[in-house]
């Protein structure tokens, strides 16, 4: 079965994914240039992500959508197991949002161009002025009513376990007083961990758990640390037991 799945990816899935990736990147770039960036910056990417997971025959289970209010903006924070985290969240969260992503993604042909055209937020740590610009852009996006998805670890795991959370997303939540929604991803590490980048996917079910929003407590000074710790524990407790527990990530 393993080799049949590899053959299926090579002959059927991969050609479709490559063609549709090019089509999506061009659609996003052109659509956002013409207008209505909130639509073109989200829906083509959502359909692209949904197609990739479906064409690879990966089962998906989503829990907790009922925890979200229809017109509320959120800061979503998730563990970062592997490359398929992006497809799972983009394709199945069913929420219009912007990504906070590494600036190196700008260098990916077509994908970087589409990300820039759709005003995704690139994290640039090359000095205080660039860091400030990153957070100013994120603040403007959130104040405009959009939601934001962040991987607070800042890097994918090497082991399936969670590393440390960085404070940036939680500082934004404190600044704008927005609810933080923890997301737990299971299965992505088995499908394609970072040690297998650009190799064939391994068939494995995926699960996205949308936890209850953590609202900013009124008048509490140490909100940042509190919300970060609570988010971390919430995500951790829903991980597959074999991946529970902190392990140092040398890439952080």
3-state SS class at 63: strand
Give me the pLDDT at residue 193, please: 86
Which CA distances in Å does 42 have to 97, 137, 243?
7, 17, 31
Place of tokens 């990300």: 115
CB count within 10 Å of CB 237 equals: 12
Which CA distances in Å does 128 have to 102, 135, 157?
16, 11, 27
In the sheet with 147-150, reading across from the earlier edge strand, the strands are 60-63, 206-210, 180-186, 75-78, 147-150, 97-102, 121-123
CA 210/CA 77 separation, integer angstroms: 10
Q: Are strands 206-210 and 180-186 parallel, antiparallel or unpaired?
A: antiparallel
Say what angle helices 84-92 and 43-55 make with each other, to 10 degrees: 120
* This model's pTM is above 0.85: yes
Query: Each residue's pLDDT tens digit in the chain (252 positions)?
Result: 889 999 999 999 999 999 999 999 999 999 999 988 889 999 999 999 999 999 999 999 999 999 999 889 999 999 999 999 999 999 999 999 999 888 788 888 888 889 988 889 887 777 667 777 777 887 887 877 899 999 999 899 999 999 999 988 898 888 888 899 999 999 999 999 887 766 899 999 999 999 999 988 766 667 788 899 999 999 999 999 999 999 989 887
Give me the pLDDT at residue 220, please: 64
CA 193/CA 57 separation, integer angstroms: 18
CA 231/CA 181 separation, integer angstroms: 8
Asked if 55 and 11 touch (Cβ cutoff 8 Å), the reply is: no
CA 152/CA 232 separation, integer angstroms: 9
CA nearest neighbour of 193 among 224, 156, 233: 156
């Amino acid at each position: 079965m393993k080799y049949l799945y590899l053959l299926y990816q090579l002959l059927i899935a991969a050609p479709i994914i490559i063609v549709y990736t090019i089509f999506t990147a061009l659609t996003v770039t052109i659509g956002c240039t013409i207008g209505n960036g909130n639509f073109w910056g989200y829906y083509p990417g959502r359909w692209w992500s949904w197609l990739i997971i479906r064409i690879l025959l990966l089962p998906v289970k989503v829990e907790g959508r009922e925890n979200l209010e229809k017109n509320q903006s959120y800061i979503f924070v998730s563990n970062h197991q592997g490359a398929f985290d992006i497809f799972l969240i983009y394709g199945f969260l069913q929420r219009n949002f912007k990504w906070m992503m590494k600036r190196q993604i700008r260098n990916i042909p077509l994908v970087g161009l589409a990300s820039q055209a759709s005003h995704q937020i690139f994290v640039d740590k090359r000095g205080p002025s660039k860091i400030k610009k990153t957070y100013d852009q994120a603040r403007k996006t959130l104040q405009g009513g959009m939601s934001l998805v962040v991987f607070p670890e800042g890097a994918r795991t090497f082991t399936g376990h969670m590393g440390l959370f960085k404070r940036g997303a939680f500082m934004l939540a404190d600044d704008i007083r927005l609810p933080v929604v923890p997301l737990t991803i299971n299965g992505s590490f088995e499908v394609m961990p970072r040690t297998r980048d650009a190799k064939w996917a391994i068939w494995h079910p995926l699960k996205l758990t949308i936890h209850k929003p953590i609202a900013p407590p009124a008048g509490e000074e140490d909100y940042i640390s509190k919300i970060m710790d609570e988010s971390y524990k919430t995500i951790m407790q829903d991980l597959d037991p074999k991946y529970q527990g902190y392990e140092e990530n040398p890439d952080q």
